[in-house]
Structure 1
Amino acid sequence: MMSSQQNDLITRVGKGTPAGELLRNYWQPVALVDELPAERPVCAVRLMGQDFVVFKDEQGNYGMLDRDCPHRGADLAAGRLEAGGIRCAFHGWLFDHKGKCLSTPGEPVGSTLCNRIRQSAYSIVERSGILFAYIGKGEPPAFPNFDCFAAPGEYTFAFKGVFECNWLQALEVGIDPAHASFLHRFFEDEDVSESYGKQFRGASADSDMPITKVLREYESPEILVSPADYGLRLIAKRPLNDEQTHVRVTNVVFPQAFVIPMSSEMTISQWHVPVDDENCYWYAIFTSFSAPTNKQQMREQRLELYELPDYTSRKNKRNNYGFNLQEQLTETYTGMGFDINVHDQWAVESQGVIQDRTREHLGTTDQGIIAYRRLLVDAIEKTQAGEKTLMMIDEQQAAHLTGPASIDGIGPADRWDEYWKESDINRRTAAPWPVPKA
């Protein structure tokens, strides 16, 4: 049982909070490249309770600055992109992507005021269709040589969505392998050939058995959790018979991401990023090991649910997530449609904006959540003591952090451990792009 003080310690992320200071030591996704359109590449961003403006200048440089103009506090996200930077619409003060003040046009001729003005600026880089920013102190960690970052652009697809709840409970649904047999249960199986771009709709690798059938008929997995250089590896085993076992390998990448299989050919690397204590975005990079991603199809699929510009779900708490009683009786476990993102959103938002963990009772299948919380508390304590934490890596270490392997397949019951490792090697070897060895 957790105390309310312990719950606050691991959930609150404002400036100066223990968890907030930890997360600020890592790169955080802040926008999709798609959110900065060519005609005016400017985007307002809220991250861990702080407000920023992200923009791309005329020379193609990305910048991220505090959102309030240092003159009188007006909103730089409403500014003009011109003359090598972003210009405040209130008095015309101009700032470049590094926060340098280039001009204070209302001042008298000869004024040197702009030489004394700087706007806080933050490191920002593009990786696989997502803009990552670093708002911590000192040098940021290096990016690991993970598949989602190593893949050529045509083999990835990036998207996001908002959850109206705390980041931690949103993350924890992804490190819970047992819930899929219930929350994502479909009473009938679709044609797996129509599953492209849809999670839990295809066939498990090395079989023609739909994943939906595996989850529905084998609902009690054995869950194995082991430490890894990047965080945790989780393996869920579902024995099908004396000869075959379904093996699902997923990963927690510290501090707040997971890597999971989407299909036999594609993985999902997903971050849960706090907007503030009570809202978060998930950012995902889909990585294909076989053929270039059909970005248009995948985007259209997701825009059936998510509404721009804020990537809010059309099914949400205000319309009871589209609940339909007849569907719950005959088609799906939740009665909330066939998009598993809606199921996850309901599950984590229904816990309240910040889950009260003093009232929870964890079970055997919650081993991954327990192990992750221990990692999180340990890292918070190390941060408070000024010590280095997990995944605070340099370029040399980053080059050797590859994979991580993420498999959903059916293999021999007596060789299940060798099976998933061989499946990962085979997929990497057959890929049309140079996949790093895991």
Structure 2
Amino acid sequence: MMSQEQNDLITRTGPKDPCGKLMRMYWQPAALVDELQGPRPVRPVKLLGEDLVLFRDEEGRYGLVDRRCPHRGADLAFGRLENGGLRCSFHGWLFDASGKCLETPAEPKDSQLCKGIRQRAYPVVERSGILWAWLGEGEPPAFPEIDCFVAPDSHTFAFKGHINCNWLQALEVGIDPSHASFLHRFFEDEDTSTAYGKQFRGASAGSDLPMTKILREYDRPIINVEHTEYGLRLITLREIDDERTHVRVTNQLFPHGFVIPMSTEMTITQWHVPVDDENCYWYAVFTSYSTPVDKNKMRDQRLELYELPDYKSRKNKTNDYGFDPQEQLTATYTGMGNDINVHDQWAVESMGAIQDRTREHLGQADKAIVQYRRLLRQQIETVTGGGQPMLFLDAGRARSIQGPATMDGIGPTRGWETFWMEVDVKRRRSAPWAAPVPSEIAEKIRHLKAV
């Protein structure tokens, strides 16, 4: 059982919280690039409990500054973009993307006040359709060379969605392989040829078996958890018969991400980013290893559920997530429609704003969650002691973090250990972009074949 103190330690991410200090050792998704399109590229952003304003100046430079003007505290989210920065609408004070005060126009011409003013500001970089912010101190780490950052823009698509609960319970649903057999259960199987852009609706690789059928009929998976340089690897096995086993390989990407297969040709790299302790956004990059991503179709599919400008779900607590008791009897396990994002949202929001882990009872199926929490506590302790956590990378080490490998397919019951790696490597080598083969996977295949 977990104590309240332990629960607070791993959930709260404010500037003074130990987990908040850990989170500030990593680049954080602050917004989608799409959110700063249009005639006025200025957006308020709340990130790790801090109220900020994100903007793009006339030269295309991104700035992320404290939302309150240092003059009298007015809201810079309503500022004017002009003269190389963001100007407060109250008295006209002007700040550039680095937080430097450029003008205090109401002051006398010979005033030196501006020289002593600096607005708190954070670096911002663009990667794979997401604007990333560094809220830590000192030099930020390099980005790992994982697939979603290596693939060309044509083969990636980014999106986000709001969840009204703490980041940790939102993340933990993604490293819980057994829930898919229940929460995402469909009583009827659809035509798998229409599954583009939808998770768990296509056929499993190497077969014509729909994923919906596999999840529904094989609901006691064997879950293996391995520690890696980037976090955890989960290998989930559902034995179909003596000859065939369904193999699903997913990854926890420290601190708050995961990498999972979406289909035979696409993966999802997803982060669960604290807005504050009771809200988070998931940010996802969908990466294709075959044809360019149909971004318009992917966006349109997701905008059926998520409303702009805040990317909040149309199905939520206020309308019982679209729950239909007749549908629950006849079509889906939850009675909440076909979009698994709604299922996940209900599950994690129903736990409360911050899940009370002092009351939970974990079993064998929760082994990845147990391992992740242990890892999280270890890394919090490292940072509290003045050390650098895992995946705090320099440019050289960033090149060594590749992949990670994922797989979702039907393999041999005896020999699945090699099978899933070979499937992943084959997909990478046939990709139209230079998808790197992680060195540990290449070495394991050579070793297993030699044996």
Superposition TM-score, scaled by structure 1 size: 0.99
Give the letter for the 2:134 counterpart.
Y
Aligned to 1:101: 101
Aligned to 1:179: 179
Aligned to 1:147: 147
Task: Name the SS of the counterpart of 2:414 in structure 1.
Answer: helix
Aligned to 1:130: 130
Aligned to 2:445: none
CA distance in 2, matches of 1:87, 1:37: 19
- Trace 1:146-295 onto structure 2 (pairs within 5 A): 146-295=146-295
Aligned to 1:39: 39
Deviation (angstroms), 1:125: 0.5
Considering only aligned residues, what root-mean-square deviation do their CA atoms show, in Å? 0.7
Structure 1 unaligned segments of length 5 or more: list them.
Answer: none
Deviations 1:127-182 (A, max 9, x none): 10000101011111110000000010010010000110000000000000000000
Give the letter for the 1:307 counterpart.
E
CA distance in 2, matches of 1:191, 1:55: 44
Deviation (angstroms), 1:235: 0.5
Deviation (angstroms), 1:402: 0.3
CA distance in 1, matches of 2:185, 2:357: 26
Task: Name the SS of the counterpart of 1:179 in structure 2.
Answer: helix
Superposition TM-score, scaled by structure 2 size: 0.96
Deviations 1:41-62 (A, max 9, x none): 1111001111111111111111
Deviation (angstroms), 1:111: 1.1
Task: Name the SS of the counterpart of 2:259 in structure 1.
Answer: strand
Task: Name the SS of the counterpart of 2:123 in structure 1.
Answer: strand
Deviations 1:273-320 (A, max 9, x none): 011110100000000000100111010000000011111101001111
CA distance in 2, matches of 1:154, 1:89: 39
Aligned to 2:307: 307
Would you identify which runs of 4 or more consecutive aligned residues in structure 1 move more than 6 Å? none
CA distance in 2, matches of 1:405, 1:89: 50
Give the letter for the 1:297 counterpart.
K
CA distance in 2, matches of 1:145, 1:391: 11
Aligned to 1:409: 409
Deviation (angstroms), 1:126: 0.6
CA distance in 2, matches of 1:356, 1:427: 42
**Identical-residue share of aligned pairs (%):** 67
Task: Name the SS of the counterpart of 1:226 in structure 2.
Answer: strand
CA distance in 2, matches of 1:428, 1:147: 10
Aligned to 2:6: 6
Deviations 1:80-102 (A, max 9, x none): 11111111111111111111111
Deviation (angstroms), 1:403: 0.2
Task: Name the SS of the counterpart of 1:414 in structure 2.
Answer: coil
Deviation (angstroms), 1:38: 3.0
Aligned to 1:387: 387
Deviation (angstroms), 1:79: 0.6
CA distance in 2, matches of 1:48, 1:59: 28
CA distance in 2, matches of 1:140, 1:235: 32
Aligned to 2:49: 49
Task: Name the SS of the counterpart of 1:178 in structure 2.
Answer: helix
* Number of aligned residue pairs: 438
Aligned to 2:65: 65
CA distance in 2, matches of 1:147, 1:296: 21
Deviation (angstroms), 1:335: 0.2
Aligned to 2:441: none
Give the letter for the 2:249 counterpart.
V
Structure 2 unaligned segments of length 5 or more: list them.
Answer: 439-451
Give the letter for the 1:206 counterpart.
G
Task: Name the SS of the counterpart of 2:274 in structure 1.
Answer: strand
